[in-house]
Amino acid sequence: MQLIVGLGNPGDRYARNRHNIGFMAVEAVARAHNAAPWRKRFHGLTAEAVIGTRRALLLLPQTFMNESGVAVAEAAQFYKIPLSDIAVLHDELDLAPAKLRVKTGGGNAGHNGLRSISAHIGNDYRRVRLGIGHPGDKARVHGYVLGDFGKGEFEWVDDLCRAIADSAELLAKGEDASFQNRVHLAMEARGWKDVKGVGERSQG
């Protein structure tokens, strides 16, 4: 069993926030792979799916971001899932918009969701970093991540979530480098090689 976690804050008021791109991506995976209906478990919403040949539990913690580790720990302990089979999809300020990177372990870069998960289960789980860009001023970060994506940004957000869903079999198999590369190529093919500004495709 693989555990694929999307990070975000629960409730309609946060649904379109930059901080919720992890939720958006995992919801896209659920749709693409005909996951079972979402149900309340482990202080979160869960849906089971078969992704390729692997069983996966999709999890959206409903504890608010800074307590995400409670839900992840409960699900991992119930299914006895090792850290190597846990992938957490989250927003990443230090990555350009529409970019994706995968790494295992490392620092939490001030991300409260990652900090909570590491406190509950340890640090060596897999992180799928979804770039949202940086507002350029540390004082603006809080409002930026808790602000909605702009109208012009949703096109690349939807394309990124779709590319993640289309390539999720590689993530479920633990082939992180291939997954990352496949998503990169898909985004490049859709014109998102370099997002110059809000919703701007690269030219050429």
**pLDDT the model gives residue 117:** 97
Cα angle vertex 22, ends 138, 163, to 5°?
115
Residue range 31-50: mean pLDDT, rounded: 97
Give the pTM.
0.93
Q: Is 19 an active-site residue?
A: yes
**pLDDT the model gives residue 97:** 95
**pLDDT the model gives residue 100:** 97
In a domain, 158, yes or no: yes
**pLDDT the model gives residue 196:** 59
Grade residue 108 by pLDDT with cuts at 50, 70 and 90.
confident
pLDDT higher than 70, residue 88 = yes
Residue range 94-99: mean pLDDT, rounded: 94
In a domain, 155, yes or no: yes
Pair 22, 89: CB distance under 8 Å: yes
**pLDDT the model gives residue 204:** 38
In a domain, 8, yes or no: yes
Tens digits of residue pLDDT in 167-193: 999 999 999 999 999 999 999 999 887
Tens digits of residue pLDDT in 109-151: 789 999 999 999 999 999 999 999 999 888 999 999 999 999 8
In a domain, 196, yes or no: no
Strand duo 54-61 + 2-6: pairing: parallel
Total structural domains within the chain = 1
Owning domain of residue 101: 2-189
Across the beta sheet with 44-51, what order do the strands follow? Answer: 39-41, 44-51, 54-61, 2-6, 86-92, 126-131, 100-104
pLDDT higher than 70, residue 199 = no
Of 45, 77, 60, 69, nearest in space to 7 by CA? 60
Q: Which of 19, 33, 111, 184 is catalytic?
A: 19
In a domain, 39, yes or no: yes
In a domain, 195, yes or no: no
Q: How far apart are CA 131 and CA 45, in angstroms?
A: 24
Residue 51 belongs to domain with CATH number: 3.40.50.1470
In a domain, 108, yes or no: yes
pLDDT higher than 90, residue 107 = no
Tokens of residue 175, six digits: 């082939």
**pLDDT the model gives residue 184:** 96
In a domain, 54, yes or no: yes
